[in-house]
């Protein structure tokens, strides 16, 4: 009878309530008029995030600067994938161009690609989410001028909850997508 006790305890542990999952919240605002970009087709390459931001756990910076996971809170999707798709969706919604995340789904290559490298994506105890890094615009056939643009975005963090962090993350990524659209519309 006692030899089944460890197995029973393991099964009970596995049957516990699952941790809640949070999606990066995309702000639903009305997009007034689509902008014409310098390219007709645009590929959004996989977003590069810092190692801590790629984790499935939702993190919050404490007063001493340590990043700590919020108890019982996980991202619903891989943060890299979620950020890449959010940027592609937002840029497509704001522009007249055909936009897709990599891998490029069409036979004819995209006229340009956007490579995003995030150096910092931190929910701060001070009530903001900081998103810093750079994006590069590359053009396979030199249809447009290639360039690197730095970004430093701060979105308000109304509450330090997983839902608040998800909302602020979505807002920061939306601002980044809008900045990319403005850069490509010039």
Q: How far is the C-alpha of 144 from the C-alpha of 85, rounded, in Å?
A: 23
Place 13 in a pLDDT band, splitting at 50, 70 and 90. Answer: very low
Q: How far is the C-alpha of 111 from the C-alpha of 186, rounded, in Å?
A: 16
Q: Parallel, antiparallel, or unpaired for β 112-124 and 41-44?
A: parallel
Q: Give a yes or no: residue 88 inside a domain.
A: yes
The pLDDT value given to residue 4 = 52
The Cβ-side half-sphere exposure at 132, using a 13 Å CA radius, reads 7
Q: Give a yes or no: residue 118 inside a domain.
A: yes
Domains in the chain, number: 1
The pLDDT value given to residue 25 = 75
Q: Give a yes or no: residue 16 inside a domain.
A: no
Q: Give a yes or no: residue 55 inside a domain.
A: yes
pLDDT by residue (tens digit) across 115-137? 999 999 999 988 999 999 999 99
Mean pLDDT check: name the lowest of 6-20, 27-41, 93-107.
Answer: 6-20
Beta partners for residue 101, in sequence order: 44
Place 9 in a pLDDT band, splitting at 50, 70 and 90. Answer: very low
Q: Give a yes or no: residue 172 inside a domain.
A: yes
Range of the domain at 102: 22-185
Q: Give a yes or no: residue 8 inside a domain.
A: no
Altogether, the residues listed in the chain come to a count of 186
Q: Give a yes or no: residue 178 inside a domain.
A: yes
> Residue 124 belongs to a domain with what CATH number?
3.40.50.10610
Count H helices and E strands in the chain, helices first: 4, 8
Q: How far is the C-alpha of 94 from the C-alpha of 123, rounded, in Å?
A: 26
The pLDDT value given to residue 32 = 72
Q: Give a yes or no: residue 169 inside a domain.
A: yes
Handedness of CA 75, 78, 84, 88 (dihedral sign): negative
């Amino acid at each position: 009878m006692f030899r089944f006790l460890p197995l029973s305890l393991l099964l009970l542990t596995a049957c516990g309530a699952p941790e809640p999952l949070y999606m990066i919240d995309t702000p639903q605002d009305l997009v007034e008029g689509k902008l014409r970009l310098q390219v007709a087709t645009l590929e959004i390459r996989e977003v590069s995030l810092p190692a801590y931001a790629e984790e499935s756990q939702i993190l919050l910076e404490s007063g001493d600067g340590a990043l700590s996971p919020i108890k019982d809170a996980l991202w619903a999707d891989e943060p890299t994938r979620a950020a890449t798709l959010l940027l592609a969706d937002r840029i497509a919604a704001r522009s007249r161009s055909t936009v897709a995340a990599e891998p490029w789904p069409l036979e004819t290559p995209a006229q340009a690609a956007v490579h995003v490298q995030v150096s910092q994506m931190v929910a701060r105890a001070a009530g903001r989410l900081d998103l810093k890094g750079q994006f590069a615009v590359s053009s396979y056939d030199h249809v447009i001028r290639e360039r690197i643009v730095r970004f430093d975005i701060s979105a308000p963090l109304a509450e330090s909850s997983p839902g608040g962090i998800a909302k602020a993350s979505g807002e920061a990524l939306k601002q980044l997508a809008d900045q990319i659209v403005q850069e490509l519309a010039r």
